[in-house]
Amino acid sequence: MNLSHRVGSRFHTASLEASSSVRNSSGEMSPGSSIPVRRAALFLAAISISCFLLYRAADSLSFSPPIFDFSSYLDNEEPKLEDVLRKAATTDRTVVLTTLNAAWAAPGSVIDLFFESFRIGEETSQILDHLVIVALDAKAYSRCLELHKHCFSLVTEGVDFSREAYFMTRSYLKMMWRRIDLLRSVLEMGYNFVFTDADVMWFRNPFPRFYMYADFQIACDHYLGRSNDLHNRPNGGFNFVRSNNRTILFYKYWYASRLRFPGYHDQDVLNFLKTEPFVFRIGLKMRFLNTAYFGGLCEPSRDLNLVRTMHANCCYGMESKLHDLRIMLQDWKDFMSLPLHLKQSSGFSWKVPQNCSLDSLRRYDESGEDDEESDPPGESQE
């Protein structure tokens, strides 16, 4: 009641002041003052009524504010991408990113083999501290939380990414382009990233083999011998990108170009873009990674003393992929168990590909090429 009394007193005083200010010395209204007085009276009346109604409404609620269970809300809230990146990043704001859907997240599937490669690789286990898994559906996110500490849920409305996305199907194309848009946003937040498909096995720390001054460097299905040769055939499943104005512009251009080339996936479009004038105008420094270090089933690394990563590319179907990945991991274990002198002289080689082959992809218009021996890259001076 004190609050209403004070408000009422102030309005009463204001009304008296307004009335006295428009009367002349005889107590009569001054000419021409009736209209302003009416407006002032109506204004004050409206405010008084509004305050009265607010007071009554508050009184009926006994001044009790609505109650929210904030603890439950915070427990269920998924972290924002920038928060996850900040926690996972190195001191120079670099993260390792991979995407995951339910098909690859199932126990015994690709994600388990991916983690195993980090555990048995040389100087790779600590890199897991900087790995962010981007889950494309609820099942993948739930499995990520069981396995890892840096998880982000990226759900695309109206699209189900939970099933296996077969090469060049509509779901596959949507998934690939969603990935490019995600990586663009990571660059805009100021983070460098290594993007890796989960079917890339990490056998050695790749960072010492990256080019120091390149903006954008990417693995290859087929490497022709020089890191700056635009005829190299890139593979989007593994790349290292530094955040700057050039790479942000490039990723925006790359993503927008999907409309110019409908029906093509991001890797094909990259092949179209890499020679376009726009790339040269923005000054993007692009390098292609030697398959001697960053190999795959399309073109395996020949020397296990050099290999950093191996990708289960050129492979169609989950069962074929899992079969060859398990053999690949066992090949690495067998090699690492050899004495040093035998590692250097035995000529030990991969037993893969087996179930995976280029023939399985030709029906989808992705033909392969023969392997080609290449020299190691120099210190980014090519």
Nearest to 348 by CA among 360, 371, 372, 332: 332
Peptide bond before residue 353 is cis, with ω within 30 degrees of 0? yes
Q: Which helix (H) or strand (E) holds 36?
A: helix 34-60
Q: Is the dihedral of CA 165, 288, 133, 106 positive or negative?
A: positive
How far CA 54 is from CA of 13, 14, 62, 152, in Å, comes to 21, 20, 12, 44
- Give the list of residues 6+ apart from residue 54 with CB closer than 8 angstroms, or none: none
Task: Mark out the alpha helices in 162-286 (DSSP H runs).
Answer: 170-188, 245-256, 266-273, 277-281
Phi-psi region of 332 (alpha: psi -120 to 50; beta: other; left: phi over 0): alpha
- Give the list of residues 6+ apart from residue 18 with CB closer than 8 angstroms, or none: 37, 40, 41, 44
How far CA 100 is from CA of 132, 141, 163, 197, 218, in Å, comes to 10, 8, 11, 9, 20
Count of Cβ atoms closer than 10 Å to residue 33 Cβ:
13
Spell out the per-residue pLDDT of the chain, length 382, in tens: 444 444 444 444 444 444 444 444 444 444 444 555 555 555 555 555 544 444 444 343 333 333 333 233 333 456 899 999 999 999 999 999 999 999 999 999 999 999 999 999 999 999 999 999 999 999 999 999 999 999 999 876 555 444 444 444 565 667 778 899 999 999 999 999 999 999 999 999 999 999 999 999 999 999 999 999 999 999 999 999 999 999 999 999 999 999 999 888 889 999 999 999 999 999 999 999 999 999 999 999 999 999 999 999 999 889 999 999 999 999 999 999 999 989 988 678 999 999 997 665 554 444 333 333 333 344 333 3
